[in-house]
Amino acid sequence: MRTQVGIVGAGPAGLLLAHLLHLAGIESVVLETRSRAYVEERIRAGLLEQGTVDILTEAGVADRLHREGLVHEGLELRFNGEGHRIDLKGLTGKQVTIYGQQEVVKDLIAARLATGQPLHFEVEEVAVHDLESEAPRITWTEGGTAWELRCDIIAGCDGFHGICRPSIPAGLLRAYDRHYPFAWLGILAAAPPASHELIYARHERGFALATMRSTSLARLYLQCAPDEEIAHWSDDRIWSELHARLARRDGIDQVQEGPILQKGITAMRSYVVEPMRHGRLFLAGDAAHIVPPTGAKGMNLAIADIRVLARALEAFFTGRGSEGLDAYSDRALARIWKAQRFSWWMTSMLHRFDGGDPFEHKVQVAELDYVCSSRAGAMTLAENYVGLPLD
């Protein structure tokens, strides 16, 4: 087989890249080791920056997003039992939208299938070869048959545990890694959300977040130990802890209980590799970086990467040179590190660190108080939360 761009991974990054290339008249083949059902049904975070919504809209894949997405013009920071609203729209003129990552994936798969271009699920033994040549290759097996795809470019959009990043020779990438001393226990409950906007709560027992997937599905998170056993968290214990950490000083209890449909524990980690390119292989999304979920930047960063990469590939294949490809890593990393800083800041400000240091607690409360009482402080949070400029 022969194509212009071989794309490993059918998550938001790989699928959006394939769609943008199609709109530019560039051929691609998408390979995914998981089944279509798995990638469409896996529940992931779903807070979209204004820029992400704009990119999907411009690409013609946002009709359902605009019908079903929940637009948020603000968020609440809650500490010492009191809530403080950050007016995102008033401060920046922008907003965010709640729309599940799996819904974005469904829309992009539908768009890909409508083009008739190749999209292969459940492939095995995927490997990339000849990355430093002008004719890199991808090999895999499918249904017991071995395949080889010759490309001009390979896009590694296969996530943190994919094969593309490890295929780069040792010593050519520099990794920046930070593990946090806590994790998130997340649940999806068949219950109305606690509020029509997100609530980020700093409590002496640990962080809590109240968000939603729809008007009838609540998504809630609790800070827990990184080695926590999910079996130790009964439904009663989860609800009790949510009531406590999201409690208001005026006694009003906003947490509404319902059947817990899913529960799981997510580690907190920051990770970046530099550069995001080796020869004709270009990394994007989680293959190159992950962020703690506090700042809601994961999928948004992946889509920002793809916007830069797609434009560079369009210039390359239309004879306008390789300058964009040569600059891709630096351009993407400039935004990635700003998002890492914001995610680290939000995480550090809202979570209880081991030992319950009284000094640390006082500093966190002072930081929250400053953000909520200063227009400059609130603006810093708001402009990062809705998404920094894409250019």
Q: What is the full DSSP assignment across 272-332?
A: EEE-SEETTEEE-GGGTEE--GGG--HHHHHHHHHHHHHHHHHHHHTTS-SHHHHHHHHHH
Average pLDDT over residues 130-152: 97
Q: How far apart are CA 351 and CA 338, in angstroms?
A: 20
Secondary structure (3-state) at 192 = coil
In the chain, CATH 3.30.9.10 sits at 179-268+351-385
Cis peptide before 275 (omega within 30 of 0): yes
DSSP 248: -
Q: What values do phi and psi take at 212, rounded to 5?
A: -155, 165
* pLDDT band per the 50, 70, 90 thresholds, residue 42: confident
Reply yes or no on whether 99 is catalytic.
no
Please list, in sequence order, all residues whose beta carbon lies within 8 angstroms of the beta carbon of residue 138, skipping any fewer than 6 positions away. Answer: 6, 8, 31, 126, 127, 128, 129, 148, 149, 151, 154
Reply yes or no on whether 275 is catalytic.
no
Q: How far apart are CA 309 and CA 288, in angstroms?
A: 13
pTM of the model: 0.95
Secondary structure (3-state) at 15 = helix
pLDDT at 357: 78
pLDDT tens digits, one per residue of 45-77 = 789 999 999 999 999 999 999 999 999 999 999
Reply yes or no on whether 328 is catalytic.
no
In the chain, CATH 3.50.50.60 sits at 5-73+94-176+269-346
DSSP characters for 89-109?
Answer: HHHHS--EEE--HHHHHHHHH
Reply yes or no on whether 297 is catalytic.
yes
Start-end of H helices in the chain: 12-23, 36-41, 50-58, 63-68, 88-92, 101-115, 235-245, 298-317, 323-350, 358-373, 375-385
pLDDT at 41: 87
Secondary structure (3-state) at 153 = strand
5-73+94-176+269-346, which class in CATH? alpha beta
pLDDT tens digits, one per residue of 310-362 = 999 999 999 999 999 999 999 999 999 999 999 999 999 999 987 767 888 89
Quote the mean pLDDT of the chain.
96
* pLDDT band per the 50, 70, 90 thresholds, residue 200: very high
Out of 72, 278, 289, 351, pick the active-site residue.
72
Residue 368 has which token pair?
């929250």
Reply yes or no on whether 192 is catalytic.
no
Pairing relationship of beta strands 5-8 and 153-156 according to DSSP bridges: parallel
Q: How far apart are CA 217 and CA 211, in angstroms?
A: 9
pLDDT at 21: 98
- Percent of the chain beyond pLDDT 90? 95
- Percent of the chain beyond pLDDT 70? 100
Out of 289, 297, 328, 351, pick the active-site residue.
297
pLDDT tens digits, one per residue of 368-383 = 999 999 999 999 999 9
Out of 22, 136, 180, 200, pick the active-site residue.
200
Average pLDDT over residues 25-30: 98
Q: Which CATH number fits domain 179-268+351-385: 2.40.37.10, 3.30.70.100, 3.30.9.10, 3.40.50.2300?
A: 3.30.9.10
**274-304 burial by CB neighbour count: b if 16+ within 10 A, else e?**
bbbbbebbbbbbbbbbbbbbbbbbbbbbbbb
Q: How far apart are CA 250 and CA 368, in angstroms?
A: 20
